Amino acid sequence: MVNRNQGSGTRALIDRLLQGVRPAGYAVQPRNHHAVAAAIVQHRADWGVTLDTIARNAGLGFLPLREERYDFVVPRSRAHRPAVLAVQETADRAVHARGVGAHGHEGADVTAGGIVLCGGRSRRMGSPKALLPFGGETMLQRVVRLLGTVVSPIAVVGAPLQSLPDLSADVIVTFDDREGRGPLRGSARGTHRASRQRRDRVRHELRCPALRSGLLAEDDRAPRR
Amino acid sequence: MIELLGDEDVAVMEIDGFAHPLSAVYRRRTLPHVEDLLAHDRLRPVFLFDLVRTRRVTPAEMSDVDPQLLTLRNLNTPEDYREALAIAGLGDGT
């Protein structure tokens, strides 16, 4: 193989995929994508990880491993340079070409996260609703799992010191610092936490996402249905 | 709901004059208004809907994805819990 330099995103991906395996060539660590392609073209290695465009331009075969998201960062003082404008225009066109909703829920995934408010007091239930069994999982696990099929990331907002069931590692968990401040407070907190991880998202709260699961936050004002 | 949001700030189901803020979609740009309401102890989500551009969604608009409005069901009492399990086809919940 031909590797990539420590600190590159590609190297992080390679290490994740190899899970500790060290194939011959692991120590060869060029600093850019072109050098990876060159190593294959010149038969110094059988394989390496690089971008599809780089591989194709070098006339190489390519097996897709995953899509990655890149942030385009530019100093404001250079924002009006022709090259920067050209990149921006290309990116805009690509976004429009994909179109929100054009691929079913895929489009929605890109822009919408979910917030699950589970800090209700469960007064009338008599036991914590988040922990109620619901088909081999707890109600909170079910809501998070099903909501996660539509939006990402998911933030779960609990009451101070509330105990929650195990949730998958990519779920953002946070606890309100004040009790009894209602859903606006909880959703604001969840949004702040989620925003730290991803920007430009729509906040999406679901009372009972899974058509067949349950409501986690109490709302005494809404009519019973 | 995300599709129905369009260019507006909030998309929320409204039935018989009651909004359902817990199963709604909010744009992040509503957050400053939320903070402002909280700072003034105005805790009800409906206050937000009066401040921002809110798309009121009717049950008919959701009929293709949720004709029985199961997404809006409350689950507050042991009886609600039993009903929800039955609807999900899960019997006793184990």
The structural domains of chain A, ordered by start, are: 1-72 (no CATH), 106-197 (3.90.550.10)
- Of chain A residues 138-177, which have a CB less than 8 A from chain B? 139
Tens-digit pLDDT profile for residues A174-193: 888 888 888 888 888 888 88
Tokens of A15: 């290490």
Closest CA to B11 of B69, B48, B57, B44: B57
Q: Do B74 and A225 touch (CB under 8 A)?
A: yes
Tens-digit pLDDT profile for residues B47-93: 999 999 999 999 999 998 899 999 898 899 999 999 999 998 887 64
Residue A162: its pLDDT value, please?
86
Residue A225: its pLDDT value, please?
40
- Of chain A residues 180-209, which have a CB less than 8 A from chain B? 181-185, 187-188, 191-192, 195, 200-209
**Nearest Cα residue in chain B from A121:** B76
Instruction: Transcribe A174-200 into DSSP letters.
Output: EE-SSSS-HHHHHHHHHHHHHHHH-SS
The model's pTM is: 0.58
Handedness of CA A202, A129, A144, B4 (dihedral sign): negative
Closest partner residue to A211 among B31, B70, B76, by Cβ?
A: B70
B68-B72-B77 Cα angle (round to 5)? 110
Question: In a 10 Å sphere around its CB, with 0-12 CB exposed, 13-18 middle and 19+ buried, how is residue B58 labelled?
Answer: exposed
Q: How far apart are CA B73 and CA B63, in angstroms?
A: 15
Q: Is 50 exceeded by the pLDDT of residue A206? A: no
- Higher pLDDT residue, A94 or A118? A118
Q: Does A212 lie at the interface with B, CB-CB under 8 angstroms?
A: yes
Smallest CA–CA distance, residue B44 to chain A, in Å, is 7
Q: Is 90 exceeded by the pLDDT of residue A1? A: yes
Give B-chain residues touching A157 at CB under 8 angstroms.
none
Residue B43: its pLDDT value, please?
92
Q: Hey, where are the domains in chain B?
A: 2-64
Q: Is 90 exceeded by the pLDDT of residue A86? A: no
Cis peptide before A209 (omega within 30 of 0): no
Whether residue A118 contacts residue A130, with contact meaning beta carbons closer than 8 Å, is answered with yes
Tens-digit pLDDT profile for residues A100-155: 333 333 333 346 889 999 988 888 999 999 999 999 999 999 999 999 888 888 99
Smallest CA–CA distance, residue A9 to chain B, in Å, is 29
First-last CA distance in chain A? 61
Query: In the predicted model, what is the mean pLDDT of residues A66-80?
Result: 78
Residue A107: its pLDDT value, please?
36
- How is chain B split among helix, strand and coil, in percent rounded to 5? 45, 20, 35
Q: Is A212 helix (H, G, I), strand (E, B) or coil?
A: coil
**Nearest Cα residue in chain B from A201:** B28
Residue type, A94: A
pLDDT category, A69, cuts 50, 70, 90? Answer: low
* Percentage of the residues of chain A whose pLDDT score is greater than 70: 76
